[in-house]
Amino acid sequence: MTTLALPADRCALVVEMAAIRANWRAVRQSFAGAGVGAVVKQDAYGLGIAEVVPLLAALGCRDFWVADLQEAADVRRAEPSGRIFVLHGLVGGTLRDYQALGAIPVLVDMSEVEALARLAGDAPAACAIHLDTGLNRLGLGLAEVRRLAAEPGLLGRLQVAAYVTHLAHFSDPGARANLWQWRRFSAWTRHLPPAPLSFSASSGVFGPKERHGDLARVGSALYGVETTPSRPQPIVAAATLTAPILRVHRVPAGREVGYSGAYRTRSARRLAQLGIGYGDGVPYRFHGDAHVLIDGHRAPVVSTSAMSLMSVDVTDLPEEALRPGLRAVLFGPGLPVDQIAAAAGVAPNVVHVRAGRSAPRFYLPCPDEPGAGTATAPRPHHAPQMA
What are the catalytic residues?
41, 259
The β-bridge relationship of strands 12-16 and 291-294 is: unpaired
Q: Using CA atoms, how far apart are residues 55 and 285, in angstroms rounded to an integer?
A: 35
Q: Using CA atoms, how far apart are residues 12 and 16, in angstroms rounded to an integer?
A: 13
Adjacent-strand bridge partners of 28: none
Pair 252, 270: CB distance under 8 Å: no
The string of DSSP codes covering 135-158 is S-SSSB-HHHHHHHHH-HHHHTTE
Cα four-point dihedral sign 290, 294, 296, 299: negative
- The enclosing H or E element of 179 equals helix 176-189
The β-bridge relationship of strands 297-302 and 361-364 is: unpaired
Q: Using CA atoms, how far apart are residues 356 and 44, in angstroms rounded to an integer?
A: 9
Q: Using CA atoms, how far apart are residues 345 and 347, in angstroms rounded to an integer?
A: 7
